[in-house]
Amino acid sequence: MTNIGHDSPDFSPIVLFAFNRPDHLAKTLSALSKNPEFNLSPLFIYCDGAKNTLDNLGVYKTRKIANQFPHPNKTIIESEINKGLAKSVISGVTEIIKAYGEVIVLEDDLVVDKSFLNFLNQALIRYKNVPKVMQISAYMFSIPEFLGRSETLLLTNVTSWGWATWSHAWEKFDPNATGWELLLSNKDMRREFDVDGSYEYSDMLFRQKKGKIDSWAIYWNWSVYRHSGLVVYPPVTLVKNIGFDGSGTHSQKLYFNDSHVTQRMMPIKFSDKFYMSKADNIYIKAALKKMSGPFYLRILKLIANTFRRLKIKYTIKYWY
């Protein structure tokens, strides 16, 4: 790859990952362009290659959108092969973060608020020298009780919907999820990793190791968890996911209470509290459970996850 600068920019580089959804990419870029910092930020758009001939038209149109969109400091990286979402994000983030030391990351199905870049840039500065903080999120779960709040929260789980990090945190990223087998037999660890049983992160990791899904984020979540890291979240979301139309890699499998992008009327205050109140903890866990689906579906998932875990536990010795 060429033309990647190594000098620190005034604003953090933006890395955007696209594949075969030109309409989604156009909406993401349009929303980004409403951020005052956008044209002052280095922009890198990674375009993945087609999986098969059916993808060719979508890939071509997506790349056309990327190349024609006006930006004074834009680099387009077009892959000749299909890497898949996980490999694309891991390699792209690693490449840019080596050059700049920090990065802002989006995928092509996110519509952001006009304060998105300001929040992430300011948070990257504010928490840069706090080793325990490993990620900044611009997304927040849909929690009505948080409306009107102005202070950030620090959670233990990561997000892939508009985020930022630094090289000192990303170097802890473990694409092998070393030690993941502990979750098979350690019930307490599994429950803790699943945010007190609120979301099936452990099963996502099991399915990733079995090749059933293509997720870089579950490896990042495990990495942050293993280093006792924290993630800064805004009180109200600055990101809306528009990929829940069946076009995304995982969208058809998720239940999501869609939150509209909130036009913030007040500045966000960065918190130094490395803990949550009991009430806030309850709100977060309730929101995660809602994302996992209705009660009956969570029960069915729990049963399926239990059988999957037991099957992996008793066959893992034959994998290696």
Yes or no: say if 189 and 183 are a contact pair by the CB < 8 Å rule: yes
Enumerate the domain spans of the chain. Answer: 14-318
Which CATH superfamily does the domain covering 14-318 fall into? Spore Coat Polysaccharide Biosynthesis Protein SpsA; Chain A (3.90.550.10)
Tell me, rounded to whole angstroms, the distance of Cα 86 from its chain centroid. Answer: 11
Residue 90 has pLDDT above 90, yes or no: yes
Quote the percentage of the chain above a pLDDT of 90: 73
In the block, tokens 């508009």 appear at: 162
Distance CA 262, CA 149 (A): 12
The arithmetic mean of pLDDT across residues 70-96, rounded, is 96
- Asked whether residue 1 carries a pLDDT value surpassing 80, the answer given is no
Question: pLDDT at position 246, please?
Answer: 52
Express each pLDDT in 96-112 by its tens digit. 999 999 999 999 999 99
Quick: pLDDT tens for 122-156: 999 999 999 999 999 999 999 999 988 999 999 99
Where are the extended beta strands (E) located within 220-261? 230-233, 239-241
**Average pLDDT, stretch 307-311?**
61
Residue with the two structure tokens 């490993």: 134
Task: Give DSSP secondary structure letters for 131-188.
Answer: TTEEEEES-----GGGTT--B-EEESS--SSSEEEEHHHHTT--TT-TTTTHHHH-HH
